[in-house]
Amino acid sequence: MRFPEFLRTTVMVSAASASLLVVLTVAGSNGNGDTLLVPLAAVWWVVAALSGIWIGRGRSTTRQIATVLASARTQPSLPELNPARTVLNRLWPILIVTIGAGAIAFAYPQVSAIAAGFAVIWALAWRHQGSAVTAIEERDGARFYVEHTSPLQPIKLVRTPGFRTNMMEDFRAARAQRPSGAAGRHA
């Protein structure tokens, strides 16, 4: 699985987890007759959303992702691709937290409310990382794939040759070919 797609999938899975946990929190608090939990949880979710937006405000990769990209092993051919196995292998903690918090949501809806807030933070904080890695791939003419490793080991990447884009060079060449007096005139 390509690394930018994995990052986008992580954001979507985190957002789905947050949505499910919010619904279970509301249902659990209504079942318990707790009228204070949902307003307090809503405040936590807004704080979590603002925190996630603040953390993820940059358009460049985080230091951790830059380190993983820099340590990618170069390989001339594509690695074995199995997106479902990769997602399950790498995102199992989100799955476990979602199932665990959801399972006790009707007895303890506070747990699912708190877990939903952290899933919101995660989704919003990582929302630009896939695009940042794609930009690096286009600039360097490489593709990064998630390597199959143990679920308990840190993520490892494989770097393969890709197609390098020369958008800035094409832009400069087109600008240089334009007659100097033609700039700013319309036909």
Q: What digits encode the pLDDT tens for the residues 59-75?
A: 899 999 999 999 999 99
User: Measured between alpha carbons, how far is 27 from 41 in angstroms, rounded to an integer?
Assistant: 13
Query: 80 falls in which pLDDT band (50, 70, 90)?
Result: confident
Query: 87 falls in which pLDDT band (50, 70, 90)?
Result: very high
User: Measured between alpha carbons, how far is 119 from 16 in angstroms, rounded to an integer?
Assistant: 9
Per-residue pLDDT of 145-185, as tens digits, reads 999 999 999 999 999 987 665 555 665 666 667 666 555 55
Per-residue pLDDT of 110-132, as tens digits, reads 999 999 999 999 999 999 999 99
Query: 26 falls in which pLDDT band (50, 70, 90)?
Result: very high
Q: How many CA atoms lie within 13 A of 32 on its CB side?
A: 18
Q: Which two tokens stand for residue 78?
A: 């594509």
Number of H helices, E strands in the chain: 8, 3
Q: In the chain, what percentage of residues exceed pLDDT 90? A: 76
Give phi and psi for 152, each to the nearest 5: -95, -5
Interval 81-92 mean pLDDT: 94
The whole-model pTM stands at: 0.81
Q: How many CA atoms lie within 13 A of 132 on its CB side?
A: 18
Q: What is the pLDDT of residue 34?
A: 86
Interval 92-99 mean pLDDT: 96
CB 129 within 8 A of CB 62: yes
Give phi and psi for 180, each to the nearest 5: -65, -30
Q: What is the pLDDT of residue 187?
A: 46
DSSP character string of 31-51: HHT-SSHHHHHHHHHHHHHHH
Q: In the chain, what percentage of residues exceed pLDDT 70? A: 87
Distant-in-sequence, close-in-space partners of 108: CB < 8 Å, separation ≥ 6: 28
Average pLDDT over all residues of the chain = 90
Within 10 angstroms of residue 138's Cβ, the number of other Cβ atoms is 16
